[in-house]
Amino acid sequence: MEGEKEANYLEGDWNGCSNRDDVVKETILLSLQMSNPAVRPMVPLFDDKEFAEATSYQAFIARLEEFFDTEPPVGGLGTTLFGTLRAPILASPNSLQGQWDYIARNWASILPDDLAQKLTLVGDMLREEERMRGWGPPEAHVLTFGKGQDLSDLYPEYERYSRDEDWMSNVVLVAKSTYVWLDQLSKQYGRNIHRLDQIPDEELEKLSRWGVTGLWLIGVWERSQASRRIKQIRGNPEALASAYSLWDYIIADELGGEEAYQDLARRAWEKGIRLASDMVPNHVGIDSKWVHEHPDWFIQLDYPPYPNYQFTGENLSTNPGVGIYIEDGYWESRDAAVTFKRVDFGSGQERHIYHGNDGTHMPWNDTAQLNYLNPEVREAVIQTILHVARKFPIIRFDAAMTLAKKHFQRLWYPQPGHGGDIPSRAERGMTR
């Protein structure tokens, strides 16, 4: 009965391709992979031991190779079919990347379009795996930049901003990490200075005498408590949340809130000093207002991008209806996962949301990456920028690469052949 089923299968076809031909191709590929040292760690997935014991497939492959040795060579390459298929393995026996490079260099003229596209995707995925992350090698190369080969290589980059030449080009800006500065002022003046409205006029007058016309207050917005908790669990009990992992764009309560800010802004302006602030268009905190209220605004999957991801650590959410978990590798200092898990306890829905990432180092594990393909996100960020601009005449954009379309695509939806910056994103690439 089983033999009859096999015979019937071999006589059939799938999408116009003979099943018999397909079995021959798969058998050839199996034989080649069993002789490929670069895939040895993966042999348990396709080990041919039982197949070889139960069939004469190895003798079949030997006869098949003898047959193709008498046939004309593969067009344009001058080698037999089996010689052509073995060439990448012989050229780079211990490296899949090396074998891919060989195929890309030597087989372009013979590959059908659909297979060439798959090859491009595989190359992007290999670059994700091979790319060095973390601290790079000591040699630093001087970069040179030029225009694309034609206009289709360029994205429109309009200069749509006011120059404000009467003051902007002459700004003298001093940066202050707000909490650190307030602590320093407390020690300097011998009293508690923890709110913005407690900053002494003497300090503002001193800055004005020095010629300072802009005061950049780093970390005035309400921060995500998950960021602080991650640092505490990791062994830093006195840590603050990151200034760039935000709950919302409101002045932090610990700094006196809106009332204290308005007081400082008025007094600074009387001294000729404009206040400056950060705005982060790329991401928000993993326990932010937007993650709770608009979880669909973020780049995400319904499942972990890598099957070995585990999320068994502490729930970092301040919302009792939502669970926020970073991947266990962070707690154990063995991995830097690209996603975290958000669970809706009411519906049971799980989302695996990507951490903020600029592709140069590792993910920022206390952040959630906004998805600019969503028009609601674009509008929400525009309105947030306007909100910040109404308060602060000077804005410094942190992780501003998402303000350039080409960089957002490069990182999150890379064009075929240009992936590799952020792990797992190459297979979700898009053309322009």
- Residue 60 within any structural domain of the chain: yes
**How many CB atoms within 10 Å of residue 13?**
11
- Residue 220 within any structural domain of the chain: yes
Please list the pLDDT of the chain residue by residue as tens digits (432 residues): 355 566 678 788 887 788 888 888 999 999 999 999 999 999 999 999 999 999 998 999 999 999 999 999 888 788 999 999 999 999 999 998 899 889 988 888 888 888 888 888 888 887 777 776 655 555 667 767 666 555 556 677 777 778 888 888 899 999 999 999 999 999 999 999 999 999 999 999 999 999 999 999 999 999 999 999 999 999 998 899 999 999 999 999 999 999 999 999 999 999 999 999 999 999 999 999 999 999 999 999 999 999 999 999 999 999 999 999 999 999 999 889 999 999 999 999 999 999 999 887 789 999 999 999 999 999 999 999 999 999 999 999 998 877 888 888 889 998 888 777 888 888 888 887
* Amino acid letter for position 327: E
Domain termination site, one of 72, 89, 110: 110
SS in 3 state form for 296-348?
HHECEECCCCCCCCCCCCCCCCCCCCEEEEECHHHHHCCCCCCEEEEEECCCC
- Residue 160 within any structural domain of the chain: no
Query: What pTM does this model have?
Result: 0.80
SS3 365: coil
Q: In this structure, are 183 and 38 located in the same domain?
A: no
Q: In this structure, are 106 and 182 located in the same domain?
A: no
Q: In this structure, are 287 and 405 located in the same domain?
A: yes
CATH of the domain at 238: 3.20.20
CA distances from 69 to 32, 62, 64, 74, 172 (A): 16, 11, 9, 11, 77
- Residue 137 within any structural domain of the chain: no
* Amino acid letter for position 71: E
CA distances from 233 to 237, 244, 406 (A): 8, 19, 37
Count up the domains in the chain and report the number: 2
CB-facing half-sphere around the CA of 66: CA atoms within 13 A: 6
Q: In this structure, are 61 and 186 located in the same domain?
A: no
Dihedral pair phi/psi, residue 369, rounded to 5°: -85, 120
- Residue 285 within any structural domain of the chain: yes
- Residue 389 within any structural domain of the chain: yes
- Residue 163 within any structural domain of the chain: no
Nearest C-alpha neighbor of 265 from the set 168, 397, 391, 395: 391
Q: In this structure, are 240 and 328 located in the same domain?
A: yes
Domain residue limits at 47: 2-110
Q: In this structure, are 191 and 286 located in the same domain?
A: yes
- Residue 202 within any structural domain of the chain: yes
Q: Which residues pair with 285 in a beta bridge?
A: 367
Task: Give the Cα separation of 295 and 301 in Å (integer).
Answer: 11
Q: In this structure, are 104 and 172 located in the same domain?
A: no
Q: In this structure, are 97 and 186 located in the same domain?
A: no
